[in-house]
Amino acid sequence: MSVYENIESVRQKISAASQRAGRSENEITLIGVSKTKPVDLINEAIECGICDLGENRVQEVLEKFDKIENARWHLIGHLQKNKVKYIVDKAVLIHSVESFELAKEIDKQAKKIGKIQDILIQVNVSGEESKFGVTPRETLSLCEAVSELENVRVKGLMTMAPMGSSESELRFVFGGLRKLCDEIKNADIKNIEMKHLSMGMSGDYEIAIEEGATMVRVGTGIFGTR
C-alpha cells in the first residue's frame, strides 16, 4: 500500500468513526507521525494534504525542519528541559507537558522569541508505570499553575493507552481523559482552553474518536511499520 492509499483508508475510518459518534470528521485533526521516516515519504503525505506532522524527538524535528515545507510540527514525545530552546520556534503544539518545571522552561524560551506556545498536558490515565504524564488527580492543579505563565497556553490534554489494551481498557483510558477534560473546563481557569484531546494511534484511533478525540496521531497506519 502506498502512503496515498494508506491515508485514504485512514480518512475513511476517521469519517466512519465520527459518524458512529454523531460527530463531524471536521472536528478531527489527523496528525501523521513521521518519526524514523525519510523526507521523501513524508513529502508524499504532505501532497495528500497531511500538513500536521508528529515527531517524538526534538533532534529529528531539527533534521527534517528545513527539508519539508508547509508542515505544522507537533512534538508528541517526552521533552527534556534542555531541549526546549531548540523546539519552541518550530512546534505548533507540544503534546507532552507533564510538569510545571517543563512548562516554566517552555514559557521562558517562548518569551525570548516573542511567541505564545500552545501545549497539551500529558496525562497517564492508565496508571501504567512506563508511561509519562501526570496522574488524573494532579492534572487540574498543574493546569492552574500553568495558567499563570504568560507565554504558554494550555489547549487540552493528551494520553497514550497501554500497548495491547482491550477495547474496554481503551474506552476507560480515552473516556477518562474526556471526563477529566470536562472537569477542567468546568473549573473555568483563566487562559486555559480545553479544546483538544490528543488520543488514539494506529491501533486505536477509531475508538479514541468515538470517545471524543480531536487529534489522532497515526504513524504506522500512514507510513508503514518502523
Ligand X SMILES: *Cc1c(COP(=O)(O)O)cnc(C)c1O
Backbone angles phi, psi at 148, to 5 degrees: -80, -15
Instruction: Pick the stretch among 37-45, 84-92, 103-111, 198-206 that binds ligand X (CB under 6 A).
Output: 198-206
Q: How far apart are CA 102 and CA 100, in angstroms?
A: 5
Q: Could you identify the residue written with the cell 525519510? A: 38
Q: How far is the CB of 41 from ligand X (least distance, A)?
A: 13
Q: Whose Cβ is closer to ligand X: residue 149's or residue 157's?
A: 157
Q: How far is the CB of 58 from ligand X (least distance, A)?
A: 13
Judged by CB under 6 A, the residue of 75, 106, 160, 207 near ligand X is 160
Looking at residue 162, what DSSP letter applies? P
Judged by CB under 6 A, the residue of 23, 35, 83, 85 near ligand X is 35
Strand, coil or helix: 57: coil
7 in contact with ligand X (CB under 6 A): no
Q: How far is the CB of 190 from ligand X (least distance, A)?
A: 29
219 in contact with ligand X (CB under 6 A): yes
Q: How far is the CB of 97 from ligand X (least distance, A)?
A: 13
With contact defined as beta carbons under 8 Å apart, do 213 and 200 qualify?
Answer: yes
Q: How far is the CB of 226 from ligand X (least distance, A)?
A: 7
Alpha carbon separation from 20 to 6, 13, 55, 218 (Å, rounded):
21, 11, 29, 20
201 in contact with ligand X (CB under 6 A): yes
Cell of residue 27, nine digits: 472536528
E strands present in 56-109: 72-75, 91-97
Report the site for ligand X in 97-136 (rule: CB under 6 A).
none
With contact defined as beta carbons under 8 Å apart, do 94 and 118 qualify?
Answer: yes
Judged by CB under 6 A, the residue of 3, 18, 44, 77 near ligand X is 77
Q: How far is the CB of 112 from ligand X (least distance, A)?
A: 27
155 in contact with ligand X (CB under 6 A): no
Q: Which amino acid is at 168?
A: S
Backbone angles phi, psi at 198, to 5 degrees: -95, 100
Cell of residue 219, nine digits: 504513524
Site residues (CB under 6 A) for ligand X?
A: 33, 35, 56, 76-77, 160, 201-203, 217-221
